[in-house]
Structure 1
Amino acid sequence: MQEEKTGFKPSLRLIDATMLVAGSMIGSGIFIVSADIARNVGGAGWLLLIWLITGFMTLTVALSYGELSGMFPKAGGQYVYLKEAYNPLVGFVFGWTFFTVIQTATIAAVGVAFAKFTAYLIPAWDEDVVALTLGSFTISSAQLVSIVVIVVLTIINTRGVSSGKIVQTTITLAKLISLLALIVFGLFALKSDVWAANWHADNVWNLFRLNADGTTANYTMFAALGAVAAGMVGAIFSSDSWHSSTSVAGEIKNPQRNVALSLALGTILVTVVYLLANIMYTGVLTMEQMASAEKDRVAIVAAQVIFGPVGITIIAVMIMVSTFGCNNGLIMAGARVYYSMAKDGMFFKKVGTLNKKSVPGVALWLQCVIAALWSLSGKYGDLLDMISIVVVIFYVLAIIGIFRLRKTRPDIERPYKAFGYPVLPFLYIIMGISFCVLMVIYKPSYTWPGIIIAALGIPVYYLIKKKPAALVHRGGA
């Protein structure tokens, strides 16, 4: 077969891997989620603290993953790490959840965000415009646009890693430059009265509920913890997918070195940009303006202050480019995980094959179908809640896996070791578990469904183990 002759082609350089990490992280979140954070925490100090905490967690887990990527420099990323650190069941449950919720629902959420901001230029594509009615079920124009974008990017990626690489690197550089330009212009347009109101000593560390209509409500001590956790949902979503380069490790040149470096460089770059963007927001918008932004589009409101009426067009184009590039990275990386699962006999046999361009074409199209279904499923915020908790659960398991592997497999070569081990990885574990517990308590509606979908992977694993060999691979490379 074709994949047996060629396998994955290592054609991604360090800059390509870094742009994949940064590009997959920067999607629509930084332009939207600060509105929800503002409503949950009220004070500008808490807004920045949530982004700082999330940035610290992201950097810690990314730098820790460098050790795992150096030990297992092959396609599959976190699926491979969990399988090696624990057993095939744990690896499969992650892969199952990645396929059913984490990656596919993220692709859908980013695709819908692309359509929502495109509607500023083409109003007929707005999420409030009903395109199809099937009985009591309606499909908006935005949902259809999301599906079209996902299909187009899937086609691009089936034509070879070079096609996806060119799109990813070019678009990521463009959106980084445009984001930095927005920050610079925003800082020049900073309003002294707005800055003073947001950062006044009496207001900056107030923690309270700030409703979109301007009304406020105080929290009890325990509810305040829940508010911080709820505020972190959007920040975690915006900082997620930093691990994209680990999924395509088999296509990266010198993966033992470059995967870990790409994780470090990409996450540091994005974390700094996110912090600067939120500092800029607090210089041009009051917390009340952020909390009440129409459909949470904080960047649109900020751009109108900075650039005037043309600001809407500027930001709409920026977010279109940003979300398009983000989804390209997500689509490229996700398919490699399902491919690796299939090669281990944990997925449909066809998913473990490469097409004539040496990419997992079947995996790409299967991912496309599930992501398209998620596009039709619900609201952006609902998807964030469902994704965030399961993402953090598996990150925590992977970090615990570093401790396990140090004891059970000490002789494996480790070109790079987890930064700050054991203190920083242990601190991440504590923070991650705390976040998950608070989410289950204070936002159960969409956190429990994500956990239940993950748990369903356990019986599915045992069903697949009983399948005839004709349906799944049994080992192989």
Structure 2
Amino acid sequence: MSDTKTTRTPADPMRSFSEDTDMKRDLGLLEAVSIVVNRIIGSGIFRTPAPIMAAVASTSLFGLVWALGGIVTIFGAVIYAELAAMMPRSGGPYEYLKMSYGPFWAFLRGWAMFFVSETASITAVALIFAEYLSAAWFLVNGVHLDKMVIFGVAFGTIWLLTAINMWGVQFSGWVQNIFSFVKIAAVGSIIGIAFTSWSTGNWANFITPLFPESFGGTTILAVGAALRYAFFAFSGWEGATYIAEEVKNPRRNLPLSLFIGIGGVMLLYLGANAAYLFQLPPERIAEAPWVATEVMTVAMGATGGILISVAVMINTFGNVNTQILCKARTWQAMARDGVFFDWFAKLHPTYRTPNNALIGQAGWATVLLVFAVLADNSYETMIDFFSATSTIFNILVFTSIWVLRRKYPDAHRPYRAWLYPWSLVGILAIYFAFLVITLITAFVPSIIGLGLTATGAVYYFFKVGFGRRAAGASAD
């Protein structure tokens, strides 16, 4: 079937504060919560404990990194809840930046999301799906899958789930509910089995070593470097805001979905990391990229390792599906505003889904997948690549709450951020410190990501600047 182009957003800026939409509102609170859960629980809790422990080399700092990741997530949700309830528009952060700083900065953030951060995240999680398949294959056959097979599995995952999401958001919502239940069950089973396997567990792992050998500047840099992976493990909590125009009663359900989803996931993360430490000493966690498989193999033998590898594969598969669903809505919203590829603005005439944006997203994720597979540490490379860029734009999104309260003081705000302005001050302080440390500890990949982002300014100049001048000339 051919696509039909959605109606371009009117010039009236107050449209951003309305609930008018060309899309179908088929998602309820349950689906919105499922999207939050699915977006957060992906590869992070199963893959990032190893690089975090390797960076900090002590259980106290390991716990500190995870605690900071959770605190920042809570502060972020507090701010996003006000923004989402005030502007229930697809694209989430893109819409908030557009109304705060103008279309250029909103576009540049969207450009960075597409070419740097968000498609790279899709690629990273698809790779973990393939890596855990390799781990299960090793437990059964004694050999790991080679890189080309891992590439093929990740490639097939991205394109299969893209195709599924082209069949309508209601169908995608059902898929979200199924995967969120499986994810909660999988993480819960790790916690339950690990803590009931007394013969293999050891409480001494929690305090050996409790502190690093020394404290100083290198310790701060180590914690900052480890936070890259903790932030990635918690990332995606804002996912429901990307599909705001497809959620029923969005002013109520979007804030609720953030708090319910994040609260539940944080409890699961706390339990999972404690379970890892109960079964494995810190030095072994640092060397265990497939830590969940290691834990279950210790607790239950090879059968347990195979079962949890399959469960992690299901988790990461569901996370890729959620990312594909949510993120394509930003590209469509940008194109609808006339600042991105025009082709992406079209919606399917029957399903009202942004199929062209979905295809374009999968295409660029495939390009990143090729480069990632060629790297020695493909997962860490992807995270290092987009961390600095994402942090800069997260800072801009968070500060938009301050800007919007001054630009539109009378806008309807069904929810107002808790502890404002201190919640904003706290999260900005952490993010600025994290940005500095990231630029120090991952300079080259950060510069590459920022350089790709800067190319968006050139595109915007030619796409929007020339277009406006041409329109002015024709009007004359």
Q: What TM-score comes out, normalization by structure 2 length?
A: 0.90
Distance 1:193 1:76, change over 3 A: closer
1:453 deviates by 1.9
1:141 deviates by 1.1
Q: Distance in 1 between matches of 2:201 and 2:334?
A: 56
SS of equivalent to 1:227: helix
Question: Do structure 1's residue 149 and structure 2's residue 157 form an aligned pair?
Answer: yes
Alignment partner, residue 223 of structure 1: 218
1:85 deviates by 1.1
Specify the code of the residue in structure 2 equivalent to 1:411. Answer: D
Q: 1:326 aligns with which of 303, 319, 329?
A: 319
Compare 225-234 and 458-467 and name the one that shifted more: 458-467
Alignment partner, residue 420 of structure 1: 419
Question: Do structure 1's residue 302 and structure 2's residue 307 form an aligned pair?
Answer: no
SS of equivalent to 2:202: helix
Question: Do structure 1's residue 339 and structure 2's residue 332 form an aligned pair?
Answer: yes
Question: Do structure 1's residue 282 and structure 2's residue 277 form an aligned pair?
Answer: yes
1:345 deviates by 0.7
Q: 1:167 aligns with which of 160, 170, 175?
A: 175
CA contact (8 A) 1:61 1:395 kept: no
1:175-324 maps to which residues of 2 (within 5 A)? 175-190=183-198, 194-199=202-207, 203-204=209-210, 206-207=211-212, 221-293=216-288, 296-324=289-317
1:289 deviates by 1.1
Alignment partner, residue 29 of structure 1: 44
SS of equivalent to 1:119: helix
Alignment partner, residue 113 of structure 2: 98
CA contact (8 A) 1:392 1:436 kept: yes
Could you tell me the percent identity over the aligned residues? Answer: 31
Specify the code of the residue in structure 1 equivalent to 2:371. Answer: S
Distance 1:122 1:75, change over 3 A: same
1:193 deviates by 7.2
Specify the code of the residue in structure 1 equivalent to 2:160. Answer: V
SS of equivalent to 1:376: helix
Q: Distance in 1 between matches of 2:42 and 2:363?
A: 21
Unaligned runs of 5+ in 1: 131-139, 209-217, 473-477
Question: Do structure 1's residue 376 and structure 2's residue 370 form an aligned pair?
Answer: yes
1:336 deviates by 0.3
Q: 2:124 aligns with which of 96, 109, 119?
A: 109
CA contact (8 A) 1:75 1:337 kept: yes
Distance 1:265 1:193, change over 3 A: closer
1:183 deviates by 0.5
CA contact (8 A) 2:200 2:299 kept: no
Q: Distance in 1 between matches of 2:417 and 2:35?
A: 21
SS of equivalent to 1:57: helix
CA contact (8 A) 1:115 1:125 kept: no
SS of equivalent to 1:347: coil
Q: What TM-score comes out, normalization by structure 1 length?
A: 0.89
Alignment partner, residue 129 of structure 1: 146
Unaligned runs of 5+ in 2: 9-20, 373-377, 472-476
Q: Distance in 2 between matches of 1:333 and 1:125?
A: 38
Alignment partner, residue 72 of structure 1: 87
Alignment partner, residue 214 of structure 1: none
Alignment partner, residue 134 of structure 1: none
Alignment partner, residue 13 of structure 2: none
Distance 1:121 1:301, change over 3 A: closer
SS of equivalent to 2:371: coil
CA contact (8 A) 1:186 1:284 kept: yes
Alignment partner, residue 475 of structure 1: none
Q: Distance in 1 between matches of 2:445 and 2:144?
A: 21
1:74-89 maps to which residues of 2 (within 5 A)? 74-89=89-104
CA contact (8 A) 1:3 1:355 kept: no
The alignment's C-alpha RMSD in Å is: 2.2
Distance 1:408 1:2, change over 3 A: closer
Distance 1:193 1:405, change over 3 A: same
Alignment partner, residue 358 of structure 1: 352
Deviations 1:108-147 (A, max 9, x none): 11111111111234469987615xxxxxxxxx21111111
Deviations 1:183-202 (A, max 9, x none): 111112256973224326xx
CA contact (8 A) 1:19 1:266 kept: yes
Q: 1:54 aligns with which of 65, 69, 88?
A: 69
1:265 deviates by 1.1
Deviations 1:346-375 (A, max 9, x none): 112221110021000000000010011111
CA contact (8 A) 1:127 1:143 kept: no
Deviations 1:223-268 (A, max 9, x none): 2111001111111111111111000000000011111111111111
SS of equivalent to 1:24: helix
Q: Distance in 2 between matches of 1:304 and 1:259?
A: 39
1:309 deviates by 1.4
Q: Distance in 2 between matches of 1:44 and 1:191?
A: 22
